[in-house]
Amino acid sequence: MSDAELAKLQGTWHQVHYERDGLVEPADEEAGWRPMTEIVGNRFTVTIADGTVVLEGAFMIDATREPKTIDWLDESGPYASKHPILAVYELTDTSFAFCAAYDGAARPTSLKTGPGLVLRRMARVG
């Protein structure tokens, strides 16, 4: 795991865009969630607008691959799993985006959704 890349990920990120199965902001997405993701070390916590923690876990990145990869391990919440969720990502100083496969599916190869893929784009808070 690249220390410099991991350092860039630290902080709080606000979701600004969501796609699932090729649909932008699908109709069944819960209104008012406005998820915020806090990253500390290699751990993450996702809270929604009312302050409820909906997900916690750990991740591992590999910035040497093209595209860069991230493996999420949800340890609590509705998607808690013993298997990592495979994803690819892009990171700048102010934005973070990742495209993840459904649990147990193959890693995506780009930041585009289709069946079985989820894309989240986030902006740095503060």
The CATH number assigned to the domain holding 71 equals 2.40.128.280
Cα(104)–Cα(31) distance, rounded to whole angstroms?
27
| Mean pLDDT computed over every residue of the chain | 90
The arithmetic mean of pLDDT across residues 59-83, rounded, is 90
Range of the domain at 41: 3-124
Given this model, what pLDDT does residue 34 score?
Answer: 79
When divided into structural domains, the chain yields a total of 1
Q: Give the span between the Cα atoms of 101 and 46, in whole angstroms.
A: 18
Structure tokens at 99: 């495209």
For the entire predicted model, the pTM comes to: 0.90
Question: Alpha-carbon distance 22 to 28, whole Å?
Answer: 14
**Contact assessment for residue 67 and residue 109, using Cβ atoms and an 8 Å cutoff:** yes
The CA angle 34-114-108, to the nearest 5 degrees, is 90
Note the pLDDT of residue 94: 96
Q: What is the pLDDT of residues 77-115, one digit of tens each?
A: 777 877 899 999 999 999 999 999 998 889 999 999 999
Tell me, what's the pLDDT at 31? 62
